[in-house]
Structure 1
Amino acid sequence: MSATGTAAGESVSYIRNTEVPAKILTPTPEGSGIEGLRWLDQKADIVFGPSDSPAWVRVRGSFKRKDWTLMTTMLKWKYVSSGPAAPDFSMYVPIKEQETKAVIIAIGPLGEIEKTTLTVKAPYWPMKPPRRLSLTPGIGFTYLIYREDPLGVSLQEGVLTAKFSVNYQLIPAKLELGGSIYGNVQPVLVVPSTVESARFMGINARAGYRLPMRWFDWRWTAYGGAYFWMMFTSGSKYGIQYISGPQLFFGGASTDPNIRRIGLYIKYAPLFESFTAVKFANFEGAVGGACQITRPGARYNVQGTLDVSWLQFTHSVGNKIRLMTVSLGAQVGW
């Protein structure tokens, strides 16, 4: 999520990275440790502020010891308890290296001193804030089978397909806007050769909400939006030019920065010629995924992609269209 604060009359934007949290390591006691001190978190979101300030994490704890006070020289305390009536506190730890250590000191009513060490481990170093805007061009090879009855059209093609995606984090780690376009660029195989080749283009526009669950330690996002599908044939001897409809899209992606990223998705889009001819049996469904090829942490994220789709549509004149595609490609994100 993002928060806005003011300093010296200026608005400052803070970005919270919930995809790759920092680890809160079990404190190592120095001497006898601190009696009554308990940490409530094993992981914490990393928050990025202005470029000239370090990233930080918020760590929650509980301290139940009457008339004792906690303190440290490097941390900013949100609330400190010195009694059992209000035992919980929060503190903010600036991340200055991959493993940041903070010495926690407890002072008793008679001047007694106890110490322990808290370690916050960043997932990678140096820390960089997540980007709000991402652009992803790609190219691939698509094998497709097209059939249309009762015209008796049966066509197989191998075509080069270009695509381009854009994504913007409207509210980082919460709400995002996205769009993509793909199109067949050049047929390299048409069977039978006596049938005019067909080309297809699609446009996606959607908004997504980051779901709070982290199944398999992946991030999951549910999208809704619109889908526009177009078909081009020489002389329009068969096919349909344009159909569209809403879409539902569900995607997941791994978040561990130390391994190559993997992403999966599933999509369903009912398609109509017009809103007066709504039939949910007319639809396109698709599944696919991407796997990072470049090493983790590389400047450019090159991925291999695989997409499989199925479209079925009955035209208002009675023609039945069936289209199956399998695409294998590569894309680069920055």
Structure 2
Amino acid sequence: MTLRMDPLQFMAPVDDRTIIENARRVILTEAASIQSLADRVEQAFAAACRLILECQGRIVVSGMGKSGHVARKIAATLASTGTPAFFVHPGEASHGDLGMVQPHDVMLLLSNSGETDELLFILPFLKRQGTALIAMTGHAGSALARQADIHLDAAVETEACPLGLAPTTSTTAAMVLGDALAVALLEARGFTADDFARSHPAGNLGRRLLVRISDVMHSGEALPRVRINAKLSEALMEMSRTRLGITAVIDDAGILRGVFSDGDLRRVLDDHRVDLREAEVGSLMSRTPITIGADQLASEAARMMEQHQVHALLVVNTAQQLVGALNIHDLLRARVV
């Protein structure tokens, strides 16, 4: 008969204070290693940046195990900040994926020990085709560091793991050094927030910096508009047809002369002196409509709506001719607000 043992019964009792102290020890250990890392960012780091800036191809990042996870993140950060990069698994590289790496690329290889077999195995093939190599290791005398064109020192004194086995401080150091590389390259390239948005079109920043009024506005037959001498009833029918809560009031040249909104309608209904059947919209409209240009950002429309306490805007060109209209629901659908 097999006895099932509960692993929890062998655990030593631990109190909350011990748990908290252990957590703080890990954080302080890693923080100290990062501070030490900053003091060792010197000429080799600048040389690595210049090599990448001069690269005519892409940056190929590779690593095994936990270093591989860090390498994936570094590749993603580089790619999203203006440096074309991708990850290649070193084990798969020797089974065909090495064909992704071209002579004009730069390869960034991560290994804390600097002795990772899978990386060392592909080095002769990379060197033979002339691919530039940057190694990021924790041991300057390692085989990987010696054979690379540039070595980035990511050494740490100790792992935060009490056994000294699980990659903890070392992976944090590599991650931070990768971030430093990406940001240094970003600044060297003059990479802007607009550039960042173009690689993040689905994110909040991308929508705020890329979506323009012309992308969300109503135009053509969907644009609410009446002539300045139109009857109030015509304006109401136009507002009902387009469901934007407003209608533009234009002259014969298409120049915007005013706007009639739901708010204007409420004021008219409260004024018993107005003949609702005979009144012309030109005498009831607001003569100072809030307008915006079609090339402006949709996020600017959101700001203007909030500032002026309106729910819709009219879009005009430089000649003040009406070209579009939008309301808060259009911005919500575009996920700008």
Q: TM-score range by the shorter chain?
A: under 0.3
Structure whose CA Rg is larger: 2
Which structure dedicates a bigger proportion of its chain to helix? 2
Normalised by the length of structure 1, the TM-score is 0.25
Normalised by the length of structure 2, the TM-score is 0.25
Which structure dedicates a bigger proportion of its chain to strand? 1
